[in-house]
Amino acid sequence: MKLGGHLWTIAPNLRHRVRPRKAPTALPWSTALADPKIGRVELHGHLHPPSGTCADELVVLVHGLGGSPDSQYVIQAAHAADRAGIGCLRLGLRGTDRSGADFYHAGLTEDLSAALASPELAGVRRIYILGFSLGGHTSLRFALRPTDPRVRAVATLCAPLDLHAGSRAIDDPKAWPYRRYLLGGLLEIYEQVAARRAVPTPLAIARRISTMREWDSKTVVPRFGFSSADDYYTSMSAGPRLGELALPALVVATEHDPMVPAWTLHRYLDAPPPNVTVRWLQRGGHVGFPRSAELGLVGGETVFDQMVAWLRQH
C-alpha cells in the first residue's frame, strides 16, 4: 500500500471537517417506508433541483459506511450533477441522521426503492444511481433487481464487492484507524436506535466490539435475519453476481485504496461481464483523488464529472 493511498483517504475528509465545502442549493427531502419487522422507517436527505434544461434527469447519491449526505465525496458529486444541469438526491440511509430510526447493511436496497418512489421524484423520467464505498455495493445489489424502470444505469466508487474479503481487510491490524472510525460511526447510530427500542445486542456489549465481523455478527445478523456473518456475506456479496446485473454499471476502484484493497476486487474486475465497465485509478485513496485524476471517460475534468457523464450516456 502506497502512502499516497492513505493521504488521499484521510486528507479530503480532514479538510472537509476544518472547512466544509458547501453543497449546491438544495431542499430538505424525506420519505418513509414500512419495514416488516419494526414498522415505519423515515429517510431524510437533500434534493437538488436541476439547474439547467434537463429537468427530467436525476442522479441519486448513496453514501458509504459511516458517511452521510454531507460527506465530502457526496457533495463533490452533487456539484458534478449541478454542472451537468441535472437534478440530484443526496440520500441518507436509515439512521444516518442519528434519529434512531434503524441501521442498515450492505445489501439493504429497500431504502433506495423507497426514495425512488417518493412523490418528489414522480416527474423524473431518467434516473441514475451513484454509490460510494458500501453505498456502491448497495447500488449494485439494487441493479440486480431494479424496482423502478426509470433507473438507466449505476456507477460505483471504491465499492467493496466481496463482503468476506472486505471484512478480513478492514479487520487486519494494519487497518485499525479505519476500522475504529467505521465502528465509531456505527455505534453512534446503534446508540440512537437503542434509545428508541430494543436492540439485538445490549449497548454495553456493542461498545466493546472491536472488529467488523463481530459487529456484523452481533447487530446486522440478528436484526435482519441472517443465520451468521458468513451467511450475510455470502448471500449479499455483489461481486459473484456482476454478470446478473440488469443495468449497465460503471465500477471505479483505486490500486492503493487502504479500506477496500485492490486484492479484494481483482478476481471480479480483471475479466468483467459485458455490462460492467471498469476503471482503475493509480493515484488516490478511498473516495479521495487528485483533481487531475483521469478515468479515460469523456465528460469533465474530475472523476465525479466523468462518472455523471458516463451515467447520462445510458
**pLDDT tens figures, 36-91:** 999 999 999 999 987 666 679 999 999 999 899 999 999 999 999 999 999 999 99
Gap between the Cα atoms of 253 and 278, Å rounded? 8
Within 13 A of 18's CA, how many CA atoms are on the CB side?
A: 6
pLDDT tens per residue across span 28-40: 999 999 999 999 9
User: What kind and span of H or E run contains 280?
Assistant: strand 276-281
Torsion (CA) 164, 180, 67, 261 in degrees, nearest 10? -40
Pick the CATH number of 3-312 from 3.30.390.10, 3.40.50.1820, 3.40.50.720, 3.40.50.150: 3.40.50.1820
Gap between the Cα atoms of 21 and 15, Å rounded? 9
Gap between the Cα atoms of 213 and 222, Å rounded? 13
Mean pLDDT across the stretch 266-287? 96
- Residue 155, pLDDT score: 98
Judge whether residue 1 has pLDDT over 70: no
**Cα 291 versus chain centre, distance:** 21
Mean pLDDT across the stretch 276-284? 95
pLDDT tens per residue across span 216-270: 999 999 999 999 999 999 999 999 999 999 999 999 999 999 999 999 999 999 9
The percent of residues in the chain predicted with pLDDT above 70, rounded, is: 98
Q: Are 158 and 254 in contact (CB under 8 A)?
A: yes
- Residue 302, pLDDT score: 92
Cell numbers for 177: 484507524
* CA-based nearest residue to 87, from 124, 30, 121, 48: 48
